[in-house]
Amino acid sequence: MTDTATAPPTGTVHPAFEPVREVFEGLFRSGAETGAALCVYHRGLPVVDLYGGVADPVTGAPWRADTLVALTSVTKTVLATVVLRCAQDGLIDIDRPVADHWPEFAAGGKGGITVATALSHRAGIPFFPRPVTFADQVARTPVLEMLAGLRPVWEPGTRHGYHAITLGFLLTELLRRATGSSEGPLVRDVLARPLGLDLHLGLTPDQVPRVAGVVPPEDGEDRFDPSIAEYCAAVKDPSSLFHRATFGSSAMTFEDMNDVRYHTVERPAAGYATAAAVARLFASLAGAPDGVRLLEPEWTDRARTPYAAGTDQVFRFETSFGLGYMLPGGRLWTGGSRAFGHIGSTGALAFADPEQQLAFAYLPNRMKHVYEFPDRRATALARAAVAAATARPDGQESP
């Protein structure tokens, strides 16, 4: 019998995308993966749907087609897509202040922060005064009071810096105030049901057994890159904006990512999905799979318009953001020169490229090295997918 950890990934691949399979299988052979799933759409149809390895490192349970994966910061694009759909439907005006919906948010000089400013990481409130605990997230009120009481550390709109923890709470409260619904039902009703997605923000107890166990990252000292030395130093400096915006703003540890309590609480970072679901979500932003399109073309264009570019005040290297999505430019991006999407702390990557009609979702359960930007696995897979899409002959549509 072939051991689960060494068995080749299973699934389907269009002949034009065989190079993607080769890269994916190579990651397992090299030991770079524990378990992972990869799905790619091209011209509205799935052309890669692969998964393999170990879903539960404790029991050795194999990865299956319906294994759910923690999306980590890819969840930001899920929330951003809901916000933009609400804007498209007239429920939110992205050019108006957040405080129009949430008056308490105006305190501390935040009254002029628009929805677009927040979505593009320019609000100047990247960290909480103390780590948000699990109890805080269950109660919600303590988190919202902290968020409403924040004072910008730079003039909103003038600079940008990654709001790793604060943005999710800001967006979920904005949505609740604008729609009267919390984030879980909104994701279900606005995204999951129309597209038939196995995508969730907070799980029910019966879904928990399908969740892949997260493998914490290695320290990654061997990945130290002198070209991002300022970021690498900030990782271990409690006074840095990066440390305060990440480790200093959340009490959740890497080990807590496997705590069932976190899976079942409806909260901004509780996104779970299959790679097939995330790829189909992004396919709906790149086109209209099965005729279903979440955002009209003009809203897709607004989503990927560069609102922020240059030196990131948190990461201390170049980044670029649209409305809730990462864009080409800087060390975070590896999804192609015309795409928009997001990475996650596991090494996850999801993006859409409307010009190529390409959508990509890679979800591993072994977390990336803390000093590694971009993730080498995601980079190799994305490059293979973009190259295959570029080389695919017109009219070659059948699987």
Q: Comparing C-alpha atoms, which of 113, 122, 127 is closest to residue 160?
A: 122
Question: In this structure, are residues 275 and 69 in contact, taking their beta carbons and an 8 Å threshold?
Answer: yes
pLDDT tens digits, one per residue of 150-195: 999 999 999 999 999 999 999 999 999 999 999 999 999 999 999 9
pLDDT tens digits, one per residue of 329-344: 988 888 778 899 999 9
Give the pLDDT confidence score for residue 212 in this predicted structure: 98
Question: In this structure, are residues 51 and 362 in contact, taking their beta carbons and an 8 Å threshold?
Answer: no
DSSP state of 377: H
Q: Residue ranges of the domains in the chain? A: 10-391
Q: How would residue 222 be classed by pLDDT, with cut points 50, 70 and 90?
A: low
Give the pLDDT confidence score for residue 219 in this predicted structure: 67
Report the 10 Å Cβ neighbour count for 213. 17
Alpha-carbon span 20 to 15, nearest angstrom: 10
H/E run at residue 146: helix 141-149
Report the 10 Å Cβ neighbour count for 182. 17
Q: Which tokens go with 238?
A: 């409690």
Q: How would residue 1 be classed by pLDDT, with cut points 50, 70 and 90?
A: very low
Give the pLDDT confidence score for residue 361 in this predicted structure: 98
Question: In this structure, are residues 110 and 152 in contact, taking their beta carbons and an 8 Å threshold?
Answer: yes
Judged against a pLDDT cut of 70, whether residue 3 lies above it is answered with no
For the segment 284-309, the average pLDDT, to the nearest whole number, is 92
- Whether the CA torsion 82, 85, 91, 92 is positive or negative: it is positive
Give the pLDDT confidence score for residue 290 in this predicted structure: 83
Question: Of 88-97, 257-266, 273-282, 286-295, where does mean pLDDT reach its minimum?
Answer: 286-295
Q: How far is CA 367 from CA 25, 70, 76, 88, in A?
A: 18, 11, 18, 35
Report the 10 Å Cβ neighbour count for 112. 14
Give the pLDDT confidence score for residue 217 in this predicted structure: 85
Alpha-carbon span 3 to 23, nearest angstrom: 20
Angle between helices 75-88 and 275-286 (to 10 degrees): 40
Give the pLDDT confidence score for residue 227 in this predicted structure: 86
Give the pLDDT confidence score for residue 2 in this predicted structure: 41
9: three-class secondary structure by DSSP: coil
For the segment 54-83, the average pLDDT, to the nearest whole number, is 97
DSSP state of 188: I
Question: In this structure, are residues 347 and 366 in contact, taking their beta carbons and an 8 Å threshold?
Answer: yes
Question: In this structure, are residues 267 and 137 in contact, taking their beta carbons and an 8 Å threshold?
Answer: yes
Q: Which amino acid is it at 381?
A: L
The beta-strand segments (E) located in the chain are: 10-13, 35-42, 45-56, 61-62, 69-70, 199-201, 271-273, 308-311, 318-321, 340-343, 349-353, 358-364
Judged against a pLDDT cut of 60, whether residue 68 lies above it is answered with yes
CATH class of this structure's domain 10-391: alpha beta
For the segment 205-220, the average pLDDT, to the nearest whole number, is 90
Angle between helices 75-88 and 166-179 (to 10 degrees): 30
Give the pLDDT confidence score for residue 338 in this predicted structure: 87
Judged against a pLDDT cut of 60, whether residue 136 lies above it is answered with yes
Between strands 61-62 and 35-42, the pairing is unpaired
Give the pLDDT confidence score for residue 241 in this predicted structure: 98
Judged against a pLDDT cut of 90, whether residue 394 lies above it is answered with no
Task: Cite the active site residues.
Answer: 73
Q: How would residue 204 be classed by pLDDT, with cut points 50, 70 and 90?
A: very high
CA 99 to chain centre: 25
The beta-strand segments (E) located in 8-163 are: 10-13, 35-42, 45-56, 61-62, 69-70
Alpha-carbon span 272 to 179, nearest angstrom: 23
Report the 10 Å Cβ neighbour count for 106. 16
295: three-class secondary structure by DSSP: coil
Question: In this structure, are residues 101 and 177 in contact, taking their beta carbons and an 8 Å threshold?
Answer: yes
Give the pLDDT confidence score for residue 396 in this predicted structure: 63
What percent of the chain has pLDDT above 70?
Answer: 96
Q: Which tokens go with 50?
A: 């692969």
Judged against a pLDDT cut of 70, whether residue 392 lies above it is answered with yes
As a whole number, the mean pLDDT across the chain is 94
